[in-house]
Amino acid sequence: MTGPVPAGAVPAALGANWTGTGVEFALFSAHAEAVELCLFDEDAPAERARVPLERTGDTWHARLEGVGPGQLYGYRVHGPYEPLAGHRFNPNKLLLDPHARLLSGAIRWDDATYGFLPDAEEADLSFSESDSAPFMPRCVVVDPAFDWRGDAPPRRPWSETLIYEAHVRGLTRLHPGIPPELRGTYEALGHPAIVAHLQRLGVTAIELLPIHAFADDRFLVQRGLTNYWGYSSLGFFAPEARYLGPAGLPGLKEAVRVLHRAGIEVILDVVYNHTAELEETGPTLSFRGIDNAVYYKPAPGDPRRTFNCTGCGNSLDLSRPAVVRHVLDSLRLWVEEYHVDGFRFDLASTLARNPYDFDPECPFFAQLAADPVLGRVKLIAEPWDIGEGGYRLGGFPPGWGEWNDLFRDPVRRFWRGEEGQVPGLVRAIAGSREIFEPSGRGPCASVNYVASHDGYTLADLVAYERRHNWANGEENRDGHGHNHSWNCGVEGPTDDPAVRALRARQKRNLLATAMLAQGVPMLLMGDELSRSQGGNNNAYCQDNPTAWLDWERGAEEDPALPDFVAYLADIRRSHAALRRTGFLYGIPDPGTGLKDVHWLKPDGGEIAAGEWQDEHRRALGMVLGSDAPDGRMLFALLNSGDAAIRFAVPGLGAAGWAPLLDTGIPTGRPDAPERTCQAGGTFIVEPRSVILFRGIKQTG
């Protein structure tokens, strides 16, 4: 290193940016009084040099020649330590660059990582003089260059999207076809075995649980656990280093390139609502020591406290322009440097609190929509947080999709056999018009799922009625208590063939409902292979076989299920009636007299307005597709009861109906697909079944 040179103009980008001959360092802090850049040698507990940064406006910066990729660094930031005013500067604490592109090492939890003395009577009003550098990770200067070899994003329309929610390690750690040195890494995502499996299922987008750099919380480390899910962000620009394979950062980029070549988009689950620094009595790792009063939203009227609408101790303050800029810069980096195709925002309601109430016209939404890079990627909201007014399903702007728990819960309740669930089921499978139409969106705003990482897997949804989370070390108090699950008569594993057969049928019913509904279907990793977590519905800290996908066991448990899922995807892909961009209204066409959807009773008549509230109704028929551009009509029958029901076969523009799907059959493929049900006849629907027919056109 030849040393610092006059900084000159403020660098165009924050962070550590390699110029080819040196590195430009830039850090934002509005309230700091001085900033020192700390340079480290590998494995050294203390820095070998401190470089004072110049200030221009609120940007602190320096240019160092002779420094290049691989250089380890961090910051010490000087300023007032006045918790009552929201300021928590402490230069004894080594701080991570919020724009760091890579972190090296993990936090070694020690009281020195706190800006105050944890055991002091005055708590966070005290001041710690202990140096945290020996216990902190280091930031790493990286070379972002990569040969993308003509990579192009698939840019799948929402109406053609099938999402597969997965965990980098959980998906690949136990796959026998992946070389051991690649299992659990980014590189494994692009392995031919993974790509072929996703293609077989008809997946068009893989949604990865957080891969931003994250921390293993201190309380988890003390229990011998880790933050497996990754919802404890340390840095929004750095890929989590524990998933790096032999190729390093280029391995992640290569995996994205390979997935794109296979027609599969990559969506990241991102956590911009809070960070690993927790509440005001949490550690000082990065944002808190750089400018606590800017980055974190204070409790109303009390700058000492953090506003906590996330349940994780703090909330980033996206009502402030600097924080909005930080998040947009992060998103843009992932699109431009890693070619990702979209984002699922964890606790997205927090991002729109302006300053404390949800504001659909908040600065973040406005700037995101106007951004020329980010305006063209997929955006998905988890449309709630735990604060007052935080449940905002349907409240996000045009262009956004939303996780729809009002799809998940009615579908689960219908198939577990609860009474009075038909109205909710119909609203769900019709695309939740009453939720999304007011914002000017169509059914593709609804991301439809029956299982996600947060809760039971599909296999556990039909095998457990009580959570079994003892391994998490929280006395089984964590996780959802209301799962709308049904164990089919036995809690947990059983050898009873009748129970096992019923569970297999119920899995097919739930999957079929999600795939045949209007909206965007989402599958949970391993549901196609009957992945079980032993009844743990909150496996956030289980980085072990509890949460990993056991490929061999899954194939033995229900061997036909992957083919069933693939067949469902093929049906959806080949029938435009299942991929509408506009809502169903049930209004007759003046020319044909047919409606875009008919909701039918077993006697063949349409369900009248006064009949929807029949608490005992557990079956219905649905005919749709009279207006489908491909001319393909479909007739679906759903029976969640425990008795067979005879249904009258309608005409409604079809001469007859040929069986297309039967959830009573392991593969879903009817035994006699050539057998036609004539209009005016009847058809017996077995208990707990979905039957789907394709229309046969009238002639003459």
Q: Annotate 268-318 with DSSP letters as a single string.
A: EEE--S--TT-STTS--SSHHHHHHHHHBPEETTEEEEEP-SSSSS--B-T
- SS3 label, residue 63: strand
Q: Is 152 exposed, middle or buried (0-12, 13-18, 19+ CB in 10 A)?
A: exposed
**Within its chain, how far is the Cα of 645 from the centroid?**
39
Q: How big, in percent rounded to 5, are the helix, strand and coil portions of the chain?
A: 25, 20, 50
**Within its chain, how far is the Cα of 694 from the centroid?**
34
The one catalytic residue in 207, 240, 269, 346 is 346
| d(C-alpha 356, C-alpha 405), whole Å | 24
- SS3 label, residue 549: coil
Sole residue written with tokens 């660059």:
97
Write out the two tokens for 642: 């425990």
Nearest to 29 by CA among 62, 74, 77: 77
Residue 474: active-site member: no
Residue 596: active-site member: no
In degrees, rounded to 5, the angle at the alpha carbon of residue 677 between the alpha carbons of residues 671 and 679 is 165
Are 408 and 400 spatial neighbours (Cβ–Cβ below 8 Å)? no
What DSSP state is assigned to residue 20?
S
| d(C-alpha 403, C-alpha 392), whole Å | 11
CA distances for 85 relative to 63, 82, 105, 116, 286, angstroms: 33, 5, 33, 15, 19
| d(C-alpha 665, C-alpha 569), whole Å | 16
Are 296 and 305 spatial neighbours (Cβ–Cβ below 8 Å)? no
Write out the two tokens for 677: 């049900």
The one catalytic residue in 269, 382, 550, 627 is 382
Active site residues: 346, 382
